[in-house]
Structure 1
Amino acid sequence: MARTDDAGYCWAEASRRFMPHVLRPQTGEPFGWAFHSVGIGDTVLAYHEFRSMVEVVASEPMDAFYGMVLLRGTMEVSTEHGTTYLAEQGSACVVSPTEKFIARFTPGTRQVFVKIPVAVVEQAFGRLTGEAGGGRIIFDLATRADAPWPAALKLAVQTIDGIDSGLPVPPPMGGELERLCTSSLLLAQPHSASGLLARPSPGRAARAATMVAKAVQASPEQDYDFADMARLHGVSLRTLQDGFRNRYGRSPSAFLRDARLDMAHTLLAGDKRVSVTDAALSCGFTHLGRFARDYRVRYGFSPSETREGARGIETVREND
């Protein structure tokens, strides 16, 4: 925590830490500024308070996202995306990269805010959707009174307050707090790419289908609940089904059936001692008639013919 009544020092330090700007204190009032900031990953979490009325005007285009939560006082924020007025404790706003930023603070205004680099938001968006943000993310400036993301910011502040004063935030903790703040913004604050969060992306569907397919191929004889497996991989059953159809050209259940048929074929073709019934049951089939039908459709001949072929090959080997 640092305090100063030097407006010049405030301007230089805040420009270096937070954003290049012009500081315009109200003339005739004693100036005072208190601040504290800490790094969490590549993100900056900060607190500051102005004792007098102040206007802050960005002097360069802003190249980061700012989530701001009012603790006391009032403030007005204007950007090229609109204007919002914060007067209630806990009210908040989100500033996206912009060429215009003006903030006006009444005396005694306190706030906490998080400064998140564009790259961090893009990476978080990719984790959530499987797609790059592509510079499309512009948050709504105003925040609903019941928006949940300010609670995540306050949790991050409380967590850091619990660390011994003067000690840096441990990197693993900083990374988790950065992800918490960023993901909560993307999930809870409306923005220009919110629609991509509401629908399954091809990337998420494909990744889930690949992981489930690997599990099925490793143990096709097991019973699988594909709805449970979809939840395990963070997608809906419909998304998992779409992923299988796009990647493998069939449904998850058809993929499982074919994997079991391949396993049974390998058993019958490789060991003359294995009966058709044993092969079917050991590979997860419980209906022998359906097994025989599906086997013939897949291979063009019956399980018995495969087994007899294996016996013939073994006989030739014995005679040799």
Structure 2
Amino acid sequence: MTGTLTASSEQLGDFSDAVARAYFPHDLVVKRGPAGPADLRAVDLGPVRLARIGWGSEVAVESDHPGAWAINVPRSGVLEAQVGGHHVLSLDGQATVCPPDEQTRMTRWSADCSIVGMRIERGYLVDEVTALVGLPTDRLPAQVDLRTDSGRAWIGLLASIGTEVLRNPTLARDERVGRRLAGTLTASFVAACFPEEPGCGTVRPRIVSRVVEAMEADPARDWSAAELAREAGVGIRRLQQGFQRYLGRTPSQQLLLIRLERVHADLLAGRARSVAEAANQWGFGHLGRFAASYRERYGVAPSVTLRAR
């Protein structure tokens, strides 16, 4: 669904039905109003739906969000909620995260509160969190700070993609494009939920960081795919997906780069008497394949580096 709807307070029943179809089924209580027109804009991207919702009246909304997560970002006004037994008060710059199949009550949705909402199918988010972070989705926070770098990146994507698809609805009708946009938004949201610690440089999911650190600590080890997956705490397929998405290469390609860097450093520093000694020390068992990889990486044969030290 793409498009825009508006409604007066007398039409809020019909408007509520439209919100239920576009976002989530719910129970609505009008507490005070109206202060302005109700407004709904919705975009369907397959496993992800986007919605901009303003009731134009102060309301309370209750939903158990069947089968999907709801991430609600007030762009104005106040959104106050009870989420999993926790009181969550969100203003602009914060997101309320509502889990699937659990009752959440928005106790105060102020008349001037317009939210940008992102609905993510439960199974889809489970797969993405597992692939990118290696943590269960029950570890998602009830509130996300969008004033961090990763938070600003996600809300910026959310606004730009939503605007572009509303302007050009044919994008959402192309299933491949829709899923690609959904994947981009979801990965960015996961990064906002699980930012790297300060000083870590480029944001990288923890499952990738843990495996790269293990490789760096023992590059000569004959790492198997199963051993690397155990380091990450995820399955092999999820590990491969995380590496491809964030590094653009497979774990084995990353290990090759680390080993080549160690050999290159030893040859330059004169820490090895021969190319074979350096290659064997860092886990290369086939000198011919090693030499070809080295030349591709550094543009010269390893023997040239050894002689030039």
Count of aligned residue pairs for this structure pair = 235
**SS of 1:184's equivalent?**
helix
Q: Distance in 2 between matches of 1:252 and 1:105?
A: 65
Q: How does 1:75-224 map to 2 (within 5 A)?
A: 75-87=79-91, 89-103=92-106, 104-129=108-133, 136-144=137-145, 146-147=147-148, 148-163=150-165, 164-169=167-172, 170-190=174-194, 199-200=210-211, 202-203=228-229, 208-211=250-253, 224=260
Q: Is the CA contact (8 Å cut-off) linking 1:7 and 1:31 kept in structure 2? A: no
Q: Distance in 2 between matches of 1:227 and 1:18?
A: 55
Q: Is the CA contact (8 Å cut-off) linking 1:83 and 1:141 kept in structure 2? A: no
Note the C-alpha offset of 1:209: 4.9
Q: Distance in 2 between matches of 1:227 and 1:153?
A: 43
* Structure 2 counterpart of 1:260, one-letter code: L
Name stretches of at least 5 consecutive residues in structure 1 with no aligned partner.
Answer: 217-222, 229-250, 265-282, 287-320
Q: How does 1:21-100 map to 2 (within 5 A)?
A: 21-26=26-31, 29=34, 32-58=37-63, 60=64, 62-87=66-91, 89-100=92-103
* Structure 2 counterpart of 1:152, one-letter code: W
Q: Distance in 2 between matches of 1:52 and 1:27?
A: 6
2:6 is the alignment partner of 1:3: yes
* Structure 2 counterpart of 1:199, one-letter code: R
Q: Is the CA contact (8 Å cut-off) linking 1:7 and 1:32 kept in structure 2? A: no
Q: Distance in 1 between matches of 2:261 and 2:35?
A: 68
Note the C-alpha offset of 1:71: 1.1
Q: Is the CA contact (8 Å cut-off) linking 1:226 and 1:252 kept in structure 2? A: no
Please name the residue that 1:290 is paired with. none
Q: Distance in 2 between matches of 1:120 and 1:212?
A: 27
Identity %: 16
Alignment CA distance shift 1:54-1:212 (3 Å): closer
**SS of 2:138's equivalent?**
coil
Q: Which has the larger radius of gyration?
A: 1
Please name the residue that 1:259 is paired with. 286
Note the C-alpha offset of 1:84: 1.2
Alignment CA distance shift 1:119-1:29 (3 Å): same
Please name the residue that 2:202 is paired with. none
Note the C-alpha offset of 1:11: 2.5
Note the C-alpha offset of 1:17: 2.4
Structure 2 length normalisation: TM-score?
Answer: 0.61
Q: Distance in 1 between matches of 2:144 and 2:280?
A: 41
Q: Is the CA contact (8 Å cut-off) linking 1:24 and 1:56 kept in structure 2? A: yes
RMSD over aligned CA atoms reads 4.0
* Structure 1 counterpart of 2:252, one-letter code: T
Note the C-alpha offset of 1:74: 1.1
Q: Is the CA contact (8 Å cut-off) linking 2:144 and 2:192 kept in structure 1? A: no
**SS of 1:36's equivalent?**
strand
Note the C-alpha offset of 1:36: 0.8
C-alpha offsets along residues 224-273 of structure 1, whole Å, 9 cap, x if unaligned? Answer: 22699xxxxxxxxxxxxxxxxxxxxxx984431x2118999xxxxxxxxx
Note the C-alpha offset of 1:112: 0.5
Q: Distance in 2 between matches of 1:190 and 1:211?
A: 26
Alignment CA distance shift 1:190-1:210 (3 Å): closer
C-alpha offsets along residues 30-86 of structure 1, whole Å, 9 cap, x if unaligned? Answer: 78421011122420011011111111011x454322222211111102111512112
Name stretches of at least 5 consecutive residues in structure 2 with no aligned partner.
Answer: 196-204, 213-227, 241-249, 265-278, 292-300, 305-309
Q: Distance in 1 between matches of 2:40 and 2:117?
A: 11
2:22 is the alignment partner of 1:17: yes
Structure 1 length normalisation: TM-score?
Answer: 0.59
Note the C-alpha offset of 1:117: 0.8
